[in-house]
Chain A
Amino acid sequence: MGDPAARFRLYLAGPGPRSDAVVRAVSAAGDKCYGSDAWTLDVVDVRATPEAARAAGVLLTPMLHRLTPEPGLRWLGDLSDAETLARILADARV
């Protein structure tokens, strides 16, 4: 099997119930939009690795970054609603 079609990176500030909810929602949205084998998600804790956030120019969290396919896209705000996210990810595929 080749590389996944889509790569995402999720930037969060520390562990906790809110972060857990965001990870769950993004995972569900990605699975729904791409299928569970056709995309990958990295989670970056900007508190634990602030240098990674700086290098990526991340100013606000939570933030979801679609690395591939090009063009790279970033979304901000309440990322804990899986349905809204799935719709937005699907729109961005077009």
Chain B
Amino acid sequence: MSEGVYGRVLVVEDEPTDAVVLDHLLTDLGAEPGSLIHTTTLAEAMSALAGAPTLAVVDLFLPDSAGVETVRRIRAGAPDLPLVVISAAAETETAVLSLQQGADDYLLKGDFDARALDRAVRHAVERRRLWTEARRKTLELERAERRLRAVIEANTDGMIIVDATGRIRFSNESARGLLSPEGRVLDGLHLGVPLAEGDDAVEVEGPEVEGRRPRLELRARRVDWDGAPAHLLVLRDVTTQRLLEERVRQAQKMEALGKLTGGIAHDFNNVLAVILNATEALRELVPQELNDARTELREIDASARRAAGMIRRLLGFSRRGYLRFETVDMRDFTQEAVGLMGRMVGDRIRIVAEIDDGAAEIRADPAALQQIVLNVAANARDAMPDGGTLTVRAGRVELEETHRARFPWVSPGVYERVSLTDTGTGMSDDVLERIFEPFFTTKGPDAGTGLGMAMVYGLMKQHRGLVHVHSQVGHGTTVDLFFPSANEARRPGRTPPVVASPSVEATGTETLLVIEDEPALRRAMERILTAAGYRVVLAADGREGLDRFRALTPEADLVLSDLVMPQLGGREVVAGLREAGSSVPVLLVTGYGAAYMDEIDDDGVTMITKPWSRESLLQAVRDALRRRDARDVSATPR
């Protein structure tokens, strides 16, 4: 059925005569009589809106509504409906109010004809169409803005618009979090104009949050903002990334230094072994009455031994020192260490110990552990020349993923922590960065060797632990030492027995094969061992050593071999001997220590560290032969 030129027309008129007039006018203009919907109250009109009329012709005064309220209610129910008011109210004010409340045109009863009504209806339809179109566009724009805002607000990068004077005009949530964690309004604040634009980032620091200033990457782009030139600043928090990069860089530096110092220490040990043994040999040759000469020899001997001590500390740093791991109770250890510290730091420094009941066991070398803690305590003492407090805390901590914010390089797990906090002078960032470097010291040439913290670093690594130093100039220093708990610590590799301090003269008549690439050391060993009664066969490297061994009849009683040699090393010599079916005991001579021994799992292998003395060498040889004899006896059936 056709709906006529106006479609479905809602006529809201309580005066029957007026309603009839309207009916006639509308049908004369082309409206379909069947499409006219008559209502006499506002309530009926509101119900009729459900029928989706295309035009409303409305009287203002109804039995249940009066004046512009009628317009307001119908408009609220049908925002897109063209609405013409036909009223007896002649006041301009009423007409204006009606238009403001949503009427599209206003006609005065008795003052219009069909033509005027047609014009008013067409005007209302067009006006409403334009209004509806504008509203649709506005809603679309609002939706688009909400989408864009959601993207910008959800961006983890901080985004800020600053105008040409550097004042903030817009900031997203991440920017507010970075620049104003306390929730201050950023808009209007004078941030500044970026010096450069483009893809290259510059690094800046943000405001302090919980004692930390975030490191931020800043990128700037020129943009138009409200028709004026402005800058979009993008801020990214790179604090954790920088910490990790710094840590990796530091680790690489320390690794390189470790290799360097380890290598130097190895060669130096060879030289020292020659000096010590030549000195010892000379002492026997120089007559007692040559006092001056004997004094000089003692000086040489003492100096060489001091140098050997330094080498031991260097080996500690380079993680090649020899450690004996055992289970250590951290409560007992810390209590003992606090006692030792008390004697070391003096009366002007008060020591406070806080040891958790939870503190438990670790796998550690007790002597090395003591060295670590006492070195840190010595630094604390030196940082408090006018006295102060040294607080020692021990307890179990579980480093979880969340701790990576502070220690991003740490594997999560259970650790026993020992913390030493002093109230001393503290350190600058520059000093902190170099604190573990060998020979770096702030104490002056006479006060420190610069090896203490280097050794702490190396020993902590050997314990598979980690050390973290936090310091601020004028506010003291805290050194946190984290050791993996005993049940989490991987057991170190088998450590070959090491000869104890020499006690008695150890001589013999057995045949010894000496494999040593350093000629001076080879000669010294030959001289000492021959003088002690042994039959000595020499070889300059591992390959020659194996050849000599095969040529010997009967078999040598003991093979002494340097561990690190250019040709076959000590490890390969042991393997060659075993492949040849020999169970001859081997005494490995090493300038490194246990780290190189992890892969040697052989009961017939013992070890002596360089620089050895005549006594310690003879003792080691004797002990190795004794072990062989004991093994042979236990293997003999009774």
Contacts and interface: CB of A to CB of B under 8 A. Distances in A.
Interface of A: 13-17, 47, 50, 53, 57-65, 71-79, 81, 84-85, 88
Contacts of B191: 59-60, 74, 76
Contact of A61 (B190, B195, B204, B428): B204
A78 B202 contact: yes
A45 to B, nearest CB: 11
A18 to B, nearest CB: 9
Contact of A47 (B180, B194, B213, B233): B213
A88 B195 contact: yes
Interface in B81-108: none
Contacts of A15: 428
Given A77-B195, A77-B202, 8 more contacts: A13-B205, A59-B207, A60-B206, A73-B193, A75-B193, A76-B233, A77-B196, A77-B220
B208 A73 contact: no
B293 to A, nearest CB: 54
11 contacts: A14-B429, A15-B428, A47-B208, A47-B213, A50-B208, A59-B179, A61-B205, A65-B192, A74-B166, A75-B194, A76-B233
B165 A78 contact: no
Contacts of A75: 166, 192-195
B216 interface: yes
Interface string B221-235: 000000000000100
B390 to A, nearest CB: 26
B193 A85 contact: no
B192 A76 contact: yes
Contacts of A81: 195
B190 A57 contact: yes
B218 interface: yes
B295 to A, nearest CB: 50
Given A60-B191, A60-B205, A76 B429 contact: no
B151 interface: no
B234 to A, nearest CB: 13
A70 to B, nearest CB: 12
B192 A63 contact: yes
A59 B206 contact: yes
B189 interface: yes
Interface string B416-453: 00000000000011100000000000000000000000
Contacts of A61: 204-205
A81 B238 CA distance: 23
Nearest to A18: B203
A53 B208 CA distance: 11
A81 B195 CA distance: 10
Given A60-B179, A60-B204, A60-B205, A77 B218 contact: yes
A74 B190 contact: yes
Contacts of B428: 15-16
A60 B429 CA distance: 20
B7 to A, nearest CB: 61
A85 B190 contact: no
Contact of A79 (B189, B195, B430): B195
Contacts of B207: 53, 58-60
Nearest to A63: B192
Nearest to A71: B165
A76 B204 contact: yes
Contact of B213 (A13, A64, A73): A13
Contacts of A53: 207
Given A50-B208, A79-B195, A60 B216 contact: yes
Contacts of A64: 192
A73 B218 contact: no
A72 B167 CA distance: 11
A14 B330 CA distance: 38
B178 to A, nearest CB: 9
Given A60-B206, A60-B216, A71-B165, A76 B193 contact: yes
